[in-house]
């Protein structure tokens, strides 16, 4: 089998097998992504094994986790301690091969931890279970037991499709009610009502820095808690990825628990103003093909509620359109009381003469305070 890669093209197509000795000539074409060489080789290995011995890899498993420490150091141990033949492609990409097992391990550094995905094929359930146990044993005490959710970040790729990356995200500490006075109720109660509701859509609308993304992450963490496992989230902020049906098909037919679209101004505007894409969300939210209880969250900087297409806001389809804004001076003072700050620090966070302050400005100040006082944990 010959594979020719074009160094100037991140994707290439190649012929994996000539079936000329079968019933007529045929060719199987596989699309390779050079940014994920380990995954490409894994797929090739599985295809070749299927042709030669169909029962060789009937078991497939994916194990995800987050762990403290350097990715490269953990992968050194994974390469040396499994007892399997190991081939390292870079600091966080490893192939493992052995009797009845073939695995690809990937790790990505995050802020203060690493996100890991272990994908493997095995000839028996028992062998797959032993490998999973061994890998997690090597990770050991580095494994983070905090709440996580799995981000499937999609963006437009070649051939009119989408490509992306999947990684584990650690949930943030619980949000403080004082940070979201416009909800009119405790944050946890609002999130619980949304997740229990029949409606799929939630729109978070407000200026930058007013807490939309923090609230989205809190909702995703709550989905993980309800599920009892890491929730799988389809995410994009890529306009081109939303201009075809493929990403919507992935959401409807896949195992995602929620679909998050950030900076969705161009998606939410009225169809009367020329928006040609909102109809896809109308279909998956409350159309013939429904989201089946899964949630769709938009964030937008559109200034007015009337800028959003009325059909998206229809009862039965939209749970709510939450308006976020900067905090008034009194609201910001109430929020700052929740932190262990001295008077000088409070005055710095809320200078005399300021009538409002964004959450982003407050948390930037708290981050400086946390850095200067590492024993104190700043929450938000």
Taking only the tens place, the pLDDT of each residue in 46-55 is 556 545 544 4
Q: How many CB atoms lie within 10 A of CB 205?
A: 24
Taking only the tens place, the pLDDT of each residue in 18-71 is 433 444 444 445 555 545 555 566 566 655 654 554 447 899 999 999 999 999
Q: How many CB atoms lie within 10 A of CB 225?
A: 14
Q: Per-residue pLDDT for 342 more than 90?
A: no
Taking only the tens place, the pLDDT of each residue in 268-302 is 876 666 666 666 677 665 554 455 678 999 999 98
CA distances from 224 to 148, 227, 235, 256, 285 (A): 7, 5, 16, 12, 21
Distance, in Å, from the CA atom of 368 to the CA atom of 378, rounded to the nearest integer, reads 10
Residue % of the chain over a pLDDT of 90: 46
């Amino acid at each position: 089998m010959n594979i020719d890669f074009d160094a100037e093209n991140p994707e290439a197509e190649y012929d994996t097998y000539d079936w000329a000795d079968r019933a007529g000539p045929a060719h199987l074409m596989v699309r390779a992504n050079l940014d994920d060489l380990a995954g490409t080789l894994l797929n090739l290995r599985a295809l070749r094994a299927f042709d030669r011995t169909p029962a060789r890899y009937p078991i497939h498993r994916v194990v995800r986790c987050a762990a403290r420490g350097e990715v490269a150091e953990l992968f050194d141990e994974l390469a040396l301690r499994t007892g399997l033949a190991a081939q390292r492609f870079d600091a966080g990409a490893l192939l493992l091969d052995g009797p009845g097992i073939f695995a690809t391990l990937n790790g990505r550094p995050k802020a203060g931890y690493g996100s890991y995905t272990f994908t493997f094929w095995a000839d028996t359930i028992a062998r797959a279970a032993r490998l999973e146990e061994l890998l997690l044993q090597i990770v050991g005490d580095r494994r983070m037991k905090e709440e996580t959710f799995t981000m499937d970040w999609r963006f437009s790729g070649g051939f009119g499709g989408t490509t992306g990356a999947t990684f584990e995200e650690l949930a943030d500490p619980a949000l403080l009610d004082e940070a979201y006075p416009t909800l009119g109720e405790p944050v946890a109660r609002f999130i619980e009502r949304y997740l229990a509701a029949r409606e799929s859509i939630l729109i978070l609308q407000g200026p930058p820095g007013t807490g939309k993304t923090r609230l989205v992450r809190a909702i995703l963490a709550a989905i993980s808690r309800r599920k009892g496992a890491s929730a799988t989230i389809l995410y994009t902020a890529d306009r081109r990825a939303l201009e075809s049906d493929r990403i919507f098909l992935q959401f409807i037919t896949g195992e995602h628990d929620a679909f998050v679209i950030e900076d969705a101004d161009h998606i939410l505007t009225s169809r009367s103003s020329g928006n040609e894409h909102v109809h896809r969300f109308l279909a998956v939210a409350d159309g013939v093909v429904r989201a089946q209880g899964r949630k769709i969250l938009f964030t937008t900087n559109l200034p007015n509620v009337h800028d959003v297409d009325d059909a998206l806001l229809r009862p039965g389809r939209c749970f709510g359109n939450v308006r976020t804004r900067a905090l008034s001076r009194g609201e910001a003072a109430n929020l700052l009381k929740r932190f262990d700050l001295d008077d000088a620090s409070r005055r710095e966070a809320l200078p005399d003469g300021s009538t409002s302050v964004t959450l982003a400005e407050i948390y930037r100040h708290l981050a400086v305070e946390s850095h200067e006082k590492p024993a104190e944990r700043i929450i938000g």
